[in-house]
């Protein structure tokens, strides 16, 4: 019997055969060992000790064969038998790495939300622009230093080695979102109350507060009686909504070709004034360039640096951290 059992367990190359052999030889109710055990009752008193010893020997051999077959099947099982890999439910689970929305994208959504509550509609404009929308319509004439190829990313034309920045067909990566003001005014009549958020590009050297690609939020409000006082209220309300009621902001007189008068807006951060945007009353020349009558309508515009707002709110001291793609940094948002 022991030999038969040993053979059966050696032949058990898969779980079902092993199970059949186990039931046949060691089954608790009608296994062959059980039958053998029952036969012991029929032995005479003198034969019983020797019979018992023999029975134990057989039982041990069958158990040993069964155990080694069981181990062999377990090991093979982890390699992917029909019943699948062995799972150790006591091992700690694997953490899945979930992606996060980039802090600047989160900021853009937040800014849209605040400005939406102030009644501003979101519009979009292209990143590759022509000189009309980026300069001319914004009252930036041909000889203006802002058009210098060294201060802009002009796109080269196939077959030409140098860029003619004044050519009518010249194209560039927009250097400001003010281009969208023109696109909206060209296609709509007042009243207009819009914002536009997106990337802008300048060959600025990267430092703690500058990056060659950054985002701006442009705002434009045109109606019959829009005033500078409304501009300052909107920027103040926006700044306290996004940065908190305790933020200190100031307006400085400034100059932009497309607004008159113009201001720059700063917030106080760790004892320093940081500029977060430019703004002003839309220049009558700009209103004329899109076919509006400056006697009938007026308006204000602003352009804010999205990265600097995000940095102030989340205490990011270096703009470059936003674009290093270091997951340890990004996972904090
Ligand atoms: C402008 O771009 C004007 N178009 C703003 C404007 C719009 C004025 C409408 C009037 C009416 P300025 O170049 O100052 O202005 O840029 C605006 C803001 O963008 C800055 O205050 C700053 O917050 C941010 N900014 C400018 N350059 C960089 C840079 N290299 N990296 C990160 N942020 C920048």
**What local confidence, expressed as pLDDT, does residue 250 receive?**
97
Mean of pLDDT values over 196-202: 97
What's the mean pLDDT when you consider all of the chain? 92
Lookup result for tokens 């300052």:
232
pTM as predicted: 0.75
Taken as a whole, the chain contains a residue count of: 333
Q: Is the ipTM of this complex over 0.85?
A: yes
CA 212 to ligand 1: nearest atom = 30
Confirm if 103 and 322 have CB atoms less than 8 A apart.
Answer: yes
Sheet containing strand 272-282, strands side by side? 121-122, 192-201, 213-223, 298-305, 272-282, 259-269, 249-256
Residue 77 predicted with pLDDT over 70: no
Name which residue sits closest to atom 30 of ligand 1, judged by CA. 210
- Say if residue 160 is preceded by a cis peptide, omega within 30 of 0: no
Among the listed residues 228, 217, 216, 206, the one whose alpha carbon sits nearest the alpha carbon of residue 299 = 228
> Is 278 near ligand 1, meaning CB less than 6 Å away?
yes
Among the listed residues 182, 174, 193, 145, the one whose alpha carbon sits nearest the alpha carbon of residue 286 = 182
Find the range with the poorest average confidence among 19-33, 222-236, 283-297, 300-314.
Answer: 19-33
Mean of pLDDT values over 215-238: 97
User: For residue 82, what pLDDT band results from cuts at 50, 70 and 90?
Assistant: low
Q: Give strand pairing partners of 303.
A: 218, 278
User: Degrees (nearest 5) of the Cα angle 190, 196, 198?
Assistant: 160
**Rg value, the chain, Cα:** 40
**What local confidence, expressed as pLDDT, does residue 29 receive?**
86
**What local confidence, expressed as pLDDT, does residue 83 receive?**
63
Q: Which is more confidently placed, 22 or 85? A: 22
User: Degrees (nearest 5) of the Cα angle 259, 253, 180?
Assistant: 30
Q: Give strand pairing partners of 130.
A: 171
Name which residue sits closest to atom 27 of ligand 1, judged by CA. 210
Mean of pLDDT values over 223-227: 95
User: For residue 87, what pLDDT band results from cuts at 50, 70 and 90?
Assistant: confident
Ligand 1 pocket: which of 173, 174, 281, 305 to mutate (most atoms within 8 A of CB): 305
Ligand 1 center from residue 5 Cα (angstroms) = 87
Q: Helix or strand or coil: residue 51?
A: helix
């Amino acid at each position: 019997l022991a030999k038969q059992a040993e053979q059966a367990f050696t032949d058990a190359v898969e779980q079902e055969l092993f199970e059949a052999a186990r039931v046949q030889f060691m089954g608790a109710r009608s296994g062959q060992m059980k039958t053998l055990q029952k036969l012991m009752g029929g032995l005479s008193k003198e034969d019983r000790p020797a019979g018992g010893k023999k029975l134990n020997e057989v039982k041990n051999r069958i158990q040993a064969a069964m155990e080694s077959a069981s181990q062999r099947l377990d090991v093979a099982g982890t390699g992917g038998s029909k019943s699948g890999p062995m799972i150790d439910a006591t091992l700690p689970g694997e953490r899945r790495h979930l992606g996060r929305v980039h802090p600047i994208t989160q900021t853009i959504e937040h800014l849209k939300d605040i400005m939406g509550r102030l009644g501003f509609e979101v519009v979009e404009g292209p990143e590759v622009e022509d000189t009309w929308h980026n300069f001319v319509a914004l009252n930036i004439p041909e000889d203006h230093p802002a058009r210098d190829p060294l201060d802009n990313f002009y796109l080269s034309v196939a077959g030409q080695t140098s860029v003619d920045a004044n050519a009518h067909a010249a194209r560039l990566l927009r250097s400001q979102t003010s281009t969208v003001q023109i696109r909206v005014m060209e296609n709509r009549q007042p009243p207009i109350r819009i914002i536009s958020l997106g990337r802008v590009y300048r060959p600025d050297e990267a430092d703690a507060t500058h990056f060659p690609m950054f985002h701006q939020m442009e705002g434009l409000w045109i109606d019959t009686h829009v005033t500078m006082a409304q501009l300052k209220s909107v920027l103040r309300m926006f700044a306290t909504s996004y940065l908190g009621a305790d933020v200190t902001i100031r307006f400085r007189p400034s100059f932009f070709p497309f607004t008159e008068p113009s201001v720059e807006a700063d917030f106080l951060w760790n004892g320093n004034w940081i500029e977060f945007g430019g703004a002003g009353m839309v220049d009558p020349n700009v209103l004329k360039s899109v076919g509006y009558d400056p006697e009938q309508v007026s308006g204000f515009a602003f352009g804010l640096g999205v990265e600097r707002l995000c940095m102030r709110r989340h205490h990011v001291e270096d703009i470059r951290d936003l674009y290093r793609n270091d997951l340890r940094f990004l996972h904090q948002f």
